[in-house]
């Protein structure tokens, strides 16, 4: 993840990772990026954690002009 156009976000609860999302723009071209993964623990669904992770990822993409 040395490329500054790539990013990963992690959500934690009680010291445990409960979700993550990754954006990968390496080797894509055309000023585009991939949503590499979006994973959320079943027990966290409906609590807004997934929405927060995706919001961070989309905001990052907007700042990078993808």
pLDDT at 1: 60
pLDDT in single tens digits along all 66 residues of the chain = 678 889 999 999 999 999 999 999 987 888 899 999 999 999 998 999 999 999 999 999 999 999
7-63 carries CATH number 2.60.40.10 = no
* Short-list 4, 8, 12, CA closest to 49: 12
pLDDT at 26: 85
All structural domains of the chain with their residue ranges: 7-63
CB contact burial 5-35 (16+ within 10 A = b; e otherwise): bbbebebeeeeeebbbbbbbbeeeeeeebee
pLDDT at 3: 83
pLDDT at 29: 82
């Amino acid at each position: 993840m040395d490329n500054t156009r790539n990013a990963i976000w992690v959500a934690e609860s009680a010291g445990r990772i409960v979700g993550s999302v990754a954006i990968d723009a390496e080797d894509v071209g055309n000023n585009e990026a991939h949503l590499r993964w979006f994973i959320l623990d079943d027990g966290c669904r409906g609590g807004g954690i997934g929405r927060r992770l995706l919001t961070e990822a989309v905001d990052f993409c907007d700042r990078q002009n993808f």
